[in-house]
Amino acid sequence: MHSPSIPHAPPTVAIVACHGQGLFEFGCAVGLFAPVRPELDVAWYTTQLCAGEPGALRMLGSALVQLPHGLEAVDQADIVVIPGWRDPAERPPEVLLDAVVRAHRRGARIASICSGAFVLAWAGLLDGRNATTHWRLTETLARQFPAVTVREDVLYVDEGSVITSAGSATGMDMMLHMVRGDYGVHVANLVAERLVLAPWRDAERSQRVTRAIPVGEPTRLARLMEWVRGNLHEDHSLRSLSEQAALSQRTLQRQFLETTGLSPIDWLIRERVAFARELLETTDRPLNWVAEHAGFGSQESFRRHFRSQTQVSPTGYRNLHREGIASQALLPEPLPPSIG
C-alpha cells in the first residue's frame, strides 16, 4: 500500500472491450469507474467506454453492444482498463496493441482483469514484469510469454504503471486498490460500501482455498473479524482472539490463513493501519490520539507499523492527503448523479 495521490483533475478512464468480451468483467469496470458519485465529495473519474474493434461488439452470450467511443479515446486516457480477451492464443488487433503501447509510453496506467493480461503480454508491456491472471491461465501465460514473471496464486499485481488481476471478481479488488491509491482509504471504503464489497483484500491472498472450511467456523471467524473492527482500540492477542471466537488457537491460525492469507496478528495490524489511515484523512487529531484509537500500544509501534505498510510516516501521509484535498478545492462542482 501507498499514500494517496488525490488527482489534481479527475483521471480519465478508458474501458476497452472487444468481440467475445465477458459482460461480467466489463460490467465490473463500468460499475466501479463510470457512475458519478457526488456523495464522495471528490472529483470522480471520467469514464469512456471504447470498442477495441469496429462496429457493434458481439459479447459473450451473443449480446450485441454498441459502445460510444473507439480507440481514439485511449489516446486521451490516464487509465486504460482491459477487462478480458477472448483467446490467449489469438494476437489482438495491431491497432489495439498500438493504442495500449502509446498510452503506456505517455504515462497512462494500464490495468487488466482476468484474461485481459494477454492483451498486455501481446503488447510487450509485461516483459520483465511481475503479472498475474486467472489461475487456470497462469501456466499458459508463462509458457507463451517467458519474459513475464507470472505470479500464480495472488489476487492482483501492482507494478506501478501496469496492474494485472486474477479471475473475474478480483478485478474489483484491483480497482478498489487503484481508488485507494488515487483518493485514499476513506473514499475507497465508501465506494466499497456502495458496491457492497469487502473494502480491502490483500493482493497476496491465494486465488484458491486449498481446503474445505468446516461447517460453523466461517460464521465464527466472520463474527470475530467484525467484532475486532469495532474494538481495535482494545488489547488483542492470539489467545484473546481465539477465546472471543471460541476456537482453538491452532484452528484460528489456520482459518485466518485460508481466508485472508495472513496470520491473525498480521491481519490485526493491517486493520489497525487501515483505520489509522482513515483517521489521518478525516480528522485533525494528534498522532497519539490516532495511535490510541487504532489500538497501537505506543506511538513508536504506530509509526513503525504504519511506515512498514505505507512507506511513509503518519505525518507525511496526512500532509500528502491535505495537499490533495487543497487541489480538489480548485475543481468545478461535480455533475448530477447518473442513473445506475
Homologous superfamily of 217-260+262-326 in CATH?
Homeodomain-like (1.10.10.60)
* Residue 206, CA distances (Å) to 149, 166, 202, 262, 275 in order: 17, 10, 9, 10, 24
Domain ranges of the chain: 12-195, 217-260+262-326
Strands 12-17 and 156-158: unpaired
Please report, in angstroms and rounded to a whole number, the separation of the first and last CA atoms in the chain. 30
- Give the C-alpha separation, 42 to 183, whole Å: 8
- Give the C-alpha separation, 118 to 112, whole Å: 9
202 neighbors 174 (Cβ within 8 angstroms): no
Query: What pLDDT score was predicted for residue 331?
Result: 37
Cell of residue 94, nine digits: 495491431
Homologous superfamily of 12-195 in CATH?
Class I glutamine amidotransferase (GATase) domain (3.40.50.880)
Query: What pLDDT score was predicted for residue 281?
Result: 83
Query: What pLDDT score was predicted for residue 125?
Result: 98
Query: What pLDDT score was predicted for residue 200?
Result: 54
**How many CA atoms within 13 Å lie on the side-chain side of 278?**
14
Residue type, 118: F
What does pLDDT average to in each consecutive run of 10 residues of the chain (340 residues)?
58 97 94 92 95 94 94 97 96 98 97 97 98 94 97 90 90 92 88 74 51 51 88 93 93 86 90 89 90 92 90 87 53 33
Query: What pLDDT score was predicted for residue 174?
Result: 94
Query: What pLDDT score was predicted for residue 205?
Result: 53
Hey, which residues does 46 pair with through a beta bridge?
12
Report which secondary-structure segment, H or E, holds 27: helix 23-33
Query: What pLDDT score was predicted for residue 65?
Result: 94
